[in-house]
Structures are given as C-alpha cells and as structure tokens.
C-alpha cells in the first residue's frame, strides 16, 4: 500500500454543501466526483486559470445546478516548478456531470467570460497538462460533507490522500477496511473532518482510493 499526501489550500470550498451526518445504513446511492488537476508553471497561466474558474466555469456549472464545487491549490505551489490546481465537481451520476459539461458549448455567458482560456493560442496555453480523475463515493460515505472548521478560510488546510494498491484484491480489502472495517467511523471520532471517501473508477493511477480531509491550525 502506497499512501501519497498532498496539502491543499481552498479557494472555493464546496459551495452550497450543508453539514451532513453519514449513517451506517449504506442505503443512499453513492455520489460520483470529477477531480480535474491542472498543471502549470507560470503566473500568467495561473491568472488565466483563476479568472476562467471564477468568472466562467463555476457560474456556468451553478446554472446547471451543480453547486457543490471545490477549488484548491497545492500549498507546495510556492516552491514547486510545476504547480497544481484542483477542481472537484460532484454529481448524483456521471451522466449528470457530463450533460452539464456538454451544455457549456451552448452557454453564451460562459463562452464570453471564458474567452481568454477557451481561445488561448497553442503557444500561450493556460496550463501545461490536465488530468481528469473520476471517483465514486464509498458506500458508507455516500455524499460530501462540509468540515466543521472554525478558522478563517485563508488558514484552513485540506489533505488529499491517495491510497495506491498493488493489486485489485488488496485494493478491495482496503475499501472494506474503510467501510465494514470501521475506518470511516474511526476517523470521524478522531476529528479528521473528512470531505469525502472514494475509489478511483477512471484515472492514471489504479487501483486507488482518494479522500480529502480538512484541518484548522
């Protein structure tokens, strides 16, 4: 088992999410998540990305009733050559997310507000590479939760954990440990302030599970 930790600072955290209480019934259908990772190197790219997300993408997705969206930047960006920005989009199904994304092509306000990003020349691309990772919430943590943090947003830190397993069997055992094995309940008692627990269903590093937790200094 290989665990990778990435510390994140929130820009816009899960707008519209209310505090929920996970139950052990497992009766709710698990949400799905699209986690987009933008990799970039220059401040000019960062400015275009920030403007695109704030003025174009997020407002357009809100118009499509996708309101529970989180935007994060890696804290290591201050010193890293390759910097990372994360966008988390949850939905009741992958079809709902894909329909909302398809509608962007017909959204005049989105096309106008996102022009610098959408029409960027190939020599002035707003990122070096991007990756889309698709996740499915664990059965006993089927929905996003808003962490009960009291510190100002600028001081909050979020930890993205990736649990990369060597085989599918080891991966399934790890998922069972989170669910039936009681790790979700244990982390709750330890005040880990988990936002979500999920398994990667499509991505470059599989088999894998990912979680995000929030912390105050």
C-alpha 175, offset from chain centre:
19
Mean pLDDT of 92-112: 95
Cβ contact 158:7 at 8 Å: yes
Range among 78-82, 125-129, 163-167 with highest mean pLDDT value: 125-129
> Which residues are 161's β-sheet partners?
5, 211
Cβ neighbours of residue 192 under 8 Å, at least 6 residues apart? 213
Is the per-residue pLDDT at 22 higher than 50? Answer: no
pTM of this prediction? 0.89
Structural domains in the chain, sorted by start: 2-215 (3.30.70.100)
Mean pLDDT of 180-192: 88
Cβ contact 45:127 at 8 Å: yes
Calculate the average pLDDT of the chain. 88
pLDDT at residue 15, as a whole number: 41
In angstroms and rounded to an integer, the radius of gyration of the C-alpha atoms of the chain is 17
Range among 43-52, 143-152, 171-180 with highest mean pLDDT value: 43-52
Is the per-residue pLDDT at 93 higher than 90? Answer: yes
Cβ contact 212:159 at 8 Å: yes
C-alpha 32, offset from chain centre:
11
Q: How confident is the model at residue 12 (pLDDT cuts 50, 70, 90)?
A: low
- What are the φ/ψ torsions at residue 122 (nearest 5 degrees)? -65, -25
Mean pLDDT of 84-105: 94
* pLDDT digit string, tens, across residues 34-92: 999 999 999 999 999 999 999 999 999 999 999 889 899 998 888 899 999 999 999 99
Q: How confident is the model at residue 146 (pLDDT cuts 50, 70, 90)?
A: confident
Helix (H/G/I), strand (E/B), else coil: 52: helix
Is the per-residue pLDDT at 24 higher than 60? Answer: no
Measure the CA–CA gap between 30 and 13, rounded to whole angstroms: 20
pLDDT at residue 216, as a whole number: 78
Question: Could you tell me the two tokens for 210?
Answer: 């990912």
Helix (H/G/I), strand (E/B), else coil: 194: strand
Mean pLDDT of 139-162: 86
Is the per-residue pLDDT at 208 higher than 90? Answer: yes
Least confident of 1-15, 24-38, 176-190, 197-211: 1-15
Measure the CA–CA gap between 209 and 189, rounded to whole angstroms: 21
Cβ contact 77:83 at 8 Å: yes
Name the more confident of 74 and 151: 74
Measure the CA–CA gap between 209 and 88, rounded to whole angstroms: 15
């Amino acid at each position: 088992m290989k665990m990778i930790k990435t510390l994140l600072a929130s820009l816009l955290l899960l707008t519209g999410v209310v505090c929920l209480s996970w139950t052990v019934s497992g009766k709710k259908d698990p949400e799905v998540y699209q986690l987009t990772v933008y990799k970039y190197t220059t401040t000019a790219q960062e400015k275009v990305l920030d403007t695109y997300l704030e003025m174009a993408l997020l407002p357009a997705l809100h118009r499509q009733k996708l309101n529970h969206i989180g935007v994060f930047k890696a804290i290591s960006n201050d010193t890293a050559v390759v910097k990372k920005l994360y966008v988390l989009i949850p939905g009741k199904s992958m079809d709902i997310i894909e329909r909302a994304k398809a509608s962007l092509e017909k959204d005049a306000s989105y096309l106008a507000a996102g022009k610098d990003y959408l029409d960027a020349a190939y020599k002035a691309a707003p990122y070096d590479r991007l990756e889309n990772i698709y996740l499915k919430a664990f059965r006993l943590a089927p929905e996003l939760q808003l962490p009960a943090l009291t510190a100002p947003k600028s001081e909050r830190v979020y930890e993205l954990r990736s649990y990369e397993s060597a085989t599918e069997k080891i991966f399934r055992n790890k998922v069972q440990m989170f669910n039936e094995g009681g790790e979700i309940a244990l982390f709750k008692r330890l005040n880990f302030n988990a936002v979500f627990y999920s398994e990667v269903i499509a991505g470059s590093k599989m088999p894998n599970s990912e979680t995000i937790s929030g912390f105050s200094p």
